[in-house]
Amino acid sequence: MNPDPTEARTAPRHEAGDLPAIEERELPPGRHQFHKERLMSQIHDDRRTTAEARAAHTARARNPFLRKAILLPAVTALAGALVVGALVLTPGGTAGSGDGRADGPALTTRIGVVDPKGAPQLLDRISLAAAEADAPKAARADQFVYIESRSAGTHVRTDSGVSKLVSVPLHTRQIWKSTDGSDGWLIEPGNTEPEGITLAGPDEQGNDPKPHLGAPSHDYLAKLPTDPDALLRKIYEETQGQGNGPDQQAFTTIGDLLGESWPSPQLTAALYRAAAKIPGVVTVDSATDAVGRQGVAVARLDEVGGQRTEWIFDPKTLVFLGERTVQVEGNAGEGGLIKPGTVVSTNAIMVRSFVDDMKVTP
């Protein structure tokens, strides 16, 4: 816990080591809009109306331009993780293909052992720990929520009719959001210009986006119910028709709220208790986040694509470290190139804080 609740909550950086320099590449044409958080709202709407969009939900975990945490660590960045034997690099790409997206080897892992009955007890302990965490003082209306994370992943790329698994080096993602959600900024090397892109302005239909469960503002989160049953009921109602089934979508929605927003301790505890009520939620004995921190996990298998999303927690403090998605059943991607054990996406939360302006860090 932080002695001063106004200070940034920072993950132990000594566990991650220094990152290698990241080569900044020019963003491929037409990819800017994919990184605007408000586009997530349109993606959710599309899923309500077409079966093809349901399939796209699975692809969202594989597509590096639709996922919040998607790029693959370089070998040097994974040194700490390789020591514990949790992550393995396997050949998957050839350097110098030249499209500015991905060339690295695929990221794989040992598939953790599942306990189908362990989730309620573990989530109860996690919720108690979350409820006792230091709460930040209320943000001023002119402040921004700053979240820094590090991300990695693997996806299929097709060039001239030839498909292969490729990846991009571990990178730092920095996002600033105004408390009301009307303004923001994103810097993500390799996926935005070096100076970043704005998250403000109208959506593609010219409408001012309104915060919702898929793209919440800090003020929006403050109004959500902290009763687990009421909260879960709201999640099911507002995400109806999205994703690969209501239970999987509810789990995904809670994970998104945990990963790139800053809920109060009371709401965080309620989210964990709500997750314990979702059918199919299990525990996994071991999982490793993007910077090599090892922990225990709460997870759910998406039976449509055979991918399991794992929320990773420090085994001692039960603090949320990050999330990863692992292919565990069958093959996915074009040509079935994504085999069991492939880490499709992984991220690690490093800092959450209130700051006074965009591009300002704690």
Asked whether residue 220 is assigned to any structural domain, the reply reads yes
Per-residue pLDDT tens digits for 227-242: 999 999 999 999 999 9
- Pick from 332, 326, 329: nearest CA to 345: 326
Residue predicted with more confidence, 173 or 47: 173
Asked whether residue 361 is assigned to any structural domain, the reply reads no
Q: Where are the beta strands (DSSP E) in the chain?
A: 9-10, 87-90, 106-109, 114-115, 144-153, 155-159, 162-166, 171-178, 184-187, 197-198, 282-288, 294-302, 307-313, 320-327, 343-355
Domain of 54?
A: 9-355
CA distance 85 to 80: 9
Residue 260 pLDDT level (bands cut at 50, 70, 90): confident
Asked whether residue 1 is assigned to any structural domain, the reply reads no
Q: Please tell me the least confidently modeled range out of 12-16, 265-269, 312-316.
A: 12-16
DSSP for 347-360, please give it.
Answer: EEEEEEEEESSTT-
Asked whether residue 175 is assigned to any structural domain, the reply reads yes
Per-residue pLDDT tens digits for 123-139: 999 999 999 988 777 78
Q: 182 pLDDT exceeds 60?
A: yes
Identify the pLDDT of residue 137: 74
Distant-in-sequence, close-in-space partners of 342: CB < 8 Å, separation ≥ 6: 106, 107, 108, 154, 165, 326, 327
Q: What is the mean pLDDT of residues 327-337?
A: 91
Per-residue pLDDT tens digits for 298-321: 999 999 999 999 999 999 999 999
CA distance 346 to 177: 22
Q: 43 pLDDT exceeds 80?
A: no
What percentage of the chain reaches a pLDDT higher than 70?
A: 72
Identify the pLDDT of residue 3: 39
Asked whether residue 90 is assigned to any structural domain, the reply reads yes
Hunting for tokens 């994970």 — which residue is that?
A: 255
Residue 166 pLDDT level (bands cut at 50, 70, 90): confident
CA distance 191 to 149: 14
Q: 180 pLDDT exceeds 50?
A: yes
Residue 102 pLDDT level (bands cut at 50, 70, 90): low
Q: 17 pLDDT exceeds 60?
A: no
Angle separating helix axes 119-131 and 265-275, nearest 10 degrees: 170
The model carries a pTM of 0.74
Asked whether residue 54 is assigned to any structural domain, the reply reads yes
Asked whether residue 87 is assigned to any structural domain, the reply reads yes
Q: 350 pLDDT exceeds 90?
A: yes
Asked whether residue 52 is assigned to any structural domain, the reply reads yes
Identify the pLDDT of residue 159: 86
CB 129 within 8 Å of CB 196 = no
For the chain, the domain total comes to 1
204 residue type, one letter: E
CA distance 108 to 152: 11
Tokens of 338: 């994504």
